[in-house]
């Protein structure tokens, strides 16, 4: 089931467009974003390789099962709670961002809380499913949407209004020293591997080297596409003014002979299901980790209490976080996420060494 590993990483690459990663990279286009992307690629591949190969020491076990082997249960609880918060906020940022996008570009008259209610109904249904069924649903969503998104990217590259000169101008700043913000934003492209802390339960067999080769190729293509295409359409200075660079770029494309001429509607339609699955994956991981925190069985009542907290924080986020404030929060969240990932990979590597010893 090595393809499941690829699905998790590919989903994170696709959702890159939504959570302000293009905005952050474009903001630092003259101040080290290009070098930051180049540095992020080996970092992301190395973390993918170390973490996934380390988990082969724990075949078909999630983090709760691995921590149950520890003598010091309190350490496991602290570890689980920390990861729960990171995964929950990852899904929450994507949820708030996409609701704001739908409100701005599709139906400004529709209340955000009504959109949130629709999303939460679907999310609560999905995240309570068994892990293998969530993965099957992810496979179906990617199978239906990825070819269509790839077609839109092809239309962007072949568009006559794409300015290669603007992209080359930004490329000349390759030697500018990168900021930590640019590196942290670029490495998020590869962060799908971290969901293995739960989805390792459905991974059978060892990962082959071709998995990491595919991730490398897709990651390089995804990062440079995410970063340079909006610059090619809107100019090296004009792209900075856009809050959602890729959404505006999609609105610049036309399908002349299609029943729906404006690409933005197709783009958002495809990304609605992609965003829903990305949030579901993160919140499913958070929910499963929460269940693993307590040794006793989690009944339906406790389950719905947890989901109620998910809903309450989502409502608070939608009401009080506008796009500009969320963008600022996301920048620092991405930095914290990178540090947390490095910590998790190191801890798992230590556990694997202890197990082998």
As given in the structure block, the two tokens for residue 144 are 């239906």
Q: Which CATH number fits domain 3-356: 2.60.120, 2.60.40, 1.10.530, 1.20.1740?
A: 1.20.1740
Task: Look at residue 60 in the predicted model and tell me its pLDDT.
Answer: 82
What is the C-alpha to C-alpha distance for residues 285 and 293, in angstroms, rounded to an integer?
A: 12
Task: Look at residue 347 in the predicted model and tell me its pLDDT.
Answer: 82
Task: Look at residue 207 in the predicted model and tell me its pLDDT.
Answer: 81
What is the C-alpha to C-alpha distance for residues 282 and 19, in angstroms, rounded to an integer?
A: 14
Contacts of 241 (CB under 8 A, 6+ apart): 234
Task: Look at residue 187 in the predicted model and tell me its pLDDT.
Answer: 93
Task: Look at residue 298 in the predicted model and tell me its pLDDT.
Answer: 58
What is the C-alpha to C-alpha distance for residues 15 and 20, in angstroms, rounded to an integer?
A: 10
Task: Look at residue 115 in the predicted model and tell me its pLDDT.
Answer: 92
Mean pLDDT by 10 residues, the chain (357 residues): 86 88 92 92 93 83 76 61 86 93 88 92 92 93 91 89 91 90 93 90 83 92 92 90 90 83 87 93 90 65 83 93 90 92 85 69
Task: Look at residue 277 in the predicted model and tell me its pLDDT.
Answer: 94
Q: Write down the pTM of the prediction.
A: 0.93
Three-state secondary structure string covering the chain: CHHHHHHHHHHHHHHCCCCCHHHHHHHCCCCCHHHHHHHHHHHHHHHHHHHHHHHCCCCCCCHHHHHCCCCCHHHHHHHHHHHHHHHHHHHHHHHHHHHHHHHHHCCCCCCHHHHHHHHHHHHHHHHCCCHHHHHHHHHHHHHHHHHHHHHHHHHHHCCCCCCHHHHHHHHCCCCCCCCHHHHHHHHHHHHHHHHHHHHHHHCCCCCCHHHHHHHHHHHHHHHHHHHHHHHHHHCCCHHHHCCCHHHHHHHCCECCCCCCCEHHHHHHHHHHHHHHHHHHHHHHHHHHHHHHHCCCCCCHHHHHHHHHHHHHHHHHHHHHCCHHHHHHHHHHHHHHHHHHHHHHHHHHHHHHHHHHC
Task: Look at residue 305 in the predicted model and tell me its pLDDT.
Answer: 83
Environment class of residue 325 by beta-carbon count within 10 Å: exposed (0-12), middle (13-18) or buried (19+)? exposed
Contact 66, 58 (CB under 8 A): yes
């Amino acid at each position: 089931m090595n393809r499941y590993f690829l699905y998790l990483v590919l989903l994170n690459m696709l959702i890159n467009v939504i959570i302000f990663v293009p905005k952050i990279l474009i903001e630092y286009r003259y101040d080290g974003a290009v070098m930051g992307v180049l540095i992020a690629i080996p970092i992301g591949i190395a973390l993918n390789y170390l973490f996934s190969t380390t988990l082969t020491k724990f075949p078909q076990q999630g983090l709760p099962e691995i921590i149950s082997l520890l003598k010091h249960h309190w350490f496991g609880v602290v570890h689980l709670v920390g990861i729960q918060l990171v995964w929950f906020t990852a899904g929450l940022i994507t949820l708030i961002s996409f609701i704001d996008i739908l409100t701005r570009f599709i139906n400004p008259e529709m209340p955000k809380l009504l959109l949130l209610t629709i999303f939460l109904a679907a999310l609560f249904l999905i995240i309570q499913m068994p892990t293998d069924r969530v993965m099957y649903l992810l496979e179906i969503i990617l199978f239906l949407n990825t070819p269509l998104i790839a077609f839109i990217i092809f239309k962007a590259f072949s568009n006559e209004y794409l300015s290669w000169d603007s992209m080359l101008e930004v490329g000349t700043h390759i030697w500018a020293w990168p900021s930590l913000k640019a590196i942290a934003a670029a490495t998020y492209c590869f962060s799908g591997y971290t969901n293995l802390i739960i989805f390792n339960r459905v991974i059978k067999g060892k990962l082959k080297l071709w998995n990491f080769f595919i991730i490398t190729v897709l990651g390089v293509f995804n990062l440079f596409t995410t970063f340079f295409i909006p610059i090619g359409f809107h100019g090296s200075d004009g792209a900075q003014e856009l809050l959602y660079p890729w959404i505006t770029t999609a609105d610049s494309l036309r399908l002349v002979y299609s029943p729906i001429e404006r690409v933005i509607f197709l783009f958002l339609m495809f990304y609605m299901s992609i965003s829903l699955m990305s949030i579901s994956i993160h919140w499913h991981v958070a929910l499963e980790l929460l269940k693993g925190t307590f040794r006793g069985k989690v009944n339906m009542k406790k389950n719905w209490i947890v989901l109620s907290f998910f809903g309450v924080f989502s409502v608070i986020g939608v009401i009080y976080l506008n796009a500009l404030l969320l963008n600022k929060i996301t920048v620092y969240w991405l930095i914290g996420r990178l540090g947390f990932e490095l910590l998790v990979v190191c801890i798992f590597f230590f556990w694997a060494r202890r197990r082998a010893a």
